[in-house]
Amino acid sequence: MEKIFTRAKEKKTKHFIKISFYSALVGVISGLGAVIFRTLIAFFHNLFFNGTLSLAYDSNLHFVSRFGNYVIIIPVIGGIIVGYLIQRFSPEAKGHGVPEVMEAVIMREGRIRPVVSLIKILATAIGIGSGGSAGREGPIVQIGASFGSTLGQLFHLKPRDIIILVAAGAGGGIAATFNAPIAGILFTIELILPEFSTETFIPLAISSIVATNIARAFLGAEPAFIVPGYTLASSWEFPLYIILGILCGFIAIIFTNTLSKLEIWFEERLKINKYFKPAIGGLIVGILSLIFMKWTGHYYLFGVGYSFITSVLTQENIPLIILLALIFAKIIATSFTLGSGGSGGIFAPSLFLGTAVGAAFGIIVNNIFPSITAPPAAYALVGMAAVVAGTTGAAITAIVMAYELTRSYEIILPLMLCVITSRFIVAFLYKKTMYSEPLMRRGIHAHGGHEINVLATVKTKNAMIKDAEYLYLGDNIKQAKKIISEKGIAKIPVLNDEECPVGILYTLDILDADDNKKIDEFIKVKDFSISESDSLLTALHRMENLKTDILAVVNKKGQFVGVLPASLIRKLYIKKREGLF
């Protein structure tokens, strides 16, 4: 017995080492992917806005295009190219990326087509480089996750291991993009990885460490934003930060709802060629950016928006009216960019919105309570994290990322308070996030709770008993008793002539029945079937609703292909948690 236990432990250790090695490879690709991605954005930015071939571009600095008023055409051209690439080669590359990764984990056991990463990196680089109002973090999540999935499929790994590599790629992408390794790990734990344990945490950590170091080797080790050390000016500020959290929660709801409505409108109601829809979004962004250029001397809305965030955090004096206008303009610009079918993330736009809301709120409270409030930039820093928490639902990631992006720890207490308040407002009033909302439109529910989500990643077709016994409506009791005596089963599915399940025969009901009687009058007629493409989590819910411990699994035609007892789900759950399935 001891030898068997030792061998099982050695096998598990070897498997763990193998997955850790693969995670390191995923981290390498995620880190290099982030570097290449940012380089491509710089290249296309210079090509589109300056007509030059150069890789020198700092997104934290403001710029002015050499093309003057014709700048509004640039995002239109970029939108046309992006529309062609996505519709022609990879429709999954549309949007902000993270929901697609979540869908792959929940519905397809982590399987993502390899072409997705190539089209995503090119389409998003062109989209952002030509002025699209979007972030670069969602695409790099999808790029890293796609490579992790491809690696897992290439080596024929189990679904659980493929999902771990998908999460490792996503975490590595976030870590490399923001130079924030801890936030990269937490992001995947909160949003993508369906279970949390030492065996899943370590591969994430390895990937994030490797990816971050590769990105630092090329891009430097400085935080994304250099800010002064802001502190809590007075304990009286805590109620003000709660108010700010409420405002950020409402802004997150408005942003999420606006983007959702535009996605539906462009997808279902606007009857034009899909290739040209992103061009409409580009035109809106171009017009709004030119308006702000004429008004303020800066475009503000083009690209990831880091130049605006840097300006605010370093206490550049931006008038209140401009900050308020930017809040709504950014929501419109990003919603049209992504809603029209463009490609990019919502993390950076959320940071932008939080910065604008926080700075505007800071200016107001500074004027009302000048002696007890910190500078507006401190409120902007806190607002960044609060809006991110509201839009993504990842409150822990938002808190840690705000620290890693700025390395400013002194303001952590009001930051935590504001983030929690914002997340509560969204959860209580809207109940959806930027990532869960598009999944819900597709009929996919990203349930909370890591333990139960383990079952959401296994389809019934991969868990059912395929060679299960069954009877037909025309069979008699003698045939049923024969199956019972030979197989020792308590419940037998009953099918009609079309091979579709119509009910269950319970052995206790026929023990004293005449052998010549038909089973028709003894079966419990009910719909107890479930599709082979549904998850075990869905199966559990159906069992609970039907008050049964067995389901008949059917194919697309509704024909019987196997049975799924509750006892089998329990066994598979334990195996999956232990990495044996």
Other CB atoms within 10 A of residue 81 CB: 19
Predicted confidence (pLDDT) at residue 579 exceeds the cutoff of 60: no
The whole-number pLDDT of residue 437 equals 81
Question: Which tops the pLDDT comparison, 93 or 424?
Answer: 424
Q: What domains are defined for the chain?
A: 2-219 (1.10.3080.10), 237-447 (1.10.3080.10), 458-577 (3.10.580.10)
Question: Which tops the pLDDT comparison, 196 or 342?
Answer: 342
The whole-number pLDDT of residue 577 equals 54
Average pLDDT over residues 297-311: 91
Average pLDDT over residues 300-309: 91
Segment 520-563, tens digit of pLDDT = 777 776 677 888 888 787 888 888 787 788 888 888 888 888 88
Strands 471-472 and 491-495: parallel
Least confidently predicted of 31-35, 278-282, 494-498: 494-498
Going by pLDDT thresholds of 50, 70 and 90, the confidence category of residue 581 is very low
CA-based end-to-end distance of the chain: 22
**Among 67-71, 314-318, 437-441, 505-509, which range has the highest average pLDDT?**
67-71
Predicted confidence (pLDDT) at residue 388 exceeds the cutoff of 90: yes
Return phi, psi of residue 57, to 5°: -160, 130
Average pLDDT over residues 498-513: 79
Instruction: Give CA separation, 561 vs 9, 104, 293, 500, in Å.
Output: 36, 24, 63, 9
The whole-number pLDDT of residue 402 equals 81
Going by pLDDT thresholds of 50, 70 and 90, the confidence category of residue 451 is very low
Predicted confidence (pLDDT) at residue 39 exceeds the cutoff of 60: yes
Going by pLDDT thresholds of 50, 70 and 90, the confidence category of residue 452 is very low
Predicted confidence (pLDDT) at residue 576 exceeds the cutoff of 70: no
The whole-number pLDDT of residue 580 equals 43
Task: Determine the Cα–Cα distance for residues 305 and 330; give it in Å rounded to an integer.
Answer: 9
The whole-number pLDDT of residue 212 equals 93
The whole-number pLDDT of residue 188 equals 87
Predicted confidence (pLDDT) at residue 344 exceeds the cutoff of 70: yes
Average pLDDT over residues 292-304: 93
Question: Which tops the pLDDT comparison, 178 or 169?
Answer: 169
Contacts of 142 (CB under 8 A, 6+ apart): 93, 97, 98, 100, 101, 112, 116, 117, 120, 170, 173
Segment 251-294, tens digit of pLDDT = 999 999 999 999 999 988 888 888 889 999 999 999 999 999 99
The whole-number pLDDT of residue 3 equals 55
Q: Check: pTM over 0.85? Answer yes or no.
A: no
The whole-number pLDDT of residue 207 equals 92
The whole-number pLDDT of residue 449 equals 45
Contacts of 354 (CB under 8 A, 6+ apart): 248, 251, 380, 383, 384, 385, 386, 387, 388
What is the token pair recorded at 200? Answer: 């899943």
- Look up tokens 């630092």; give the residue: 216
Mean pLDDT of the chain, nearest integer: 84
Task: Determine the Cα–Cα distance for residues 180 and 174; give it in Å rounded to an integer.
Answer: 7
Predicted confidence (pLDDT) at residue 352 exceeds the cutoff of 80: yes
Q: In this prediction, what percent of the chain has a pLDDT beyond 70?
A: 92
Predicted confidence (pLDDT) at residue 417 exceeds the cutoff of 60: yes
**Among 147-161, 282-296, 335-349, 507-521, which range has the highest average pLDDT?**
282-296
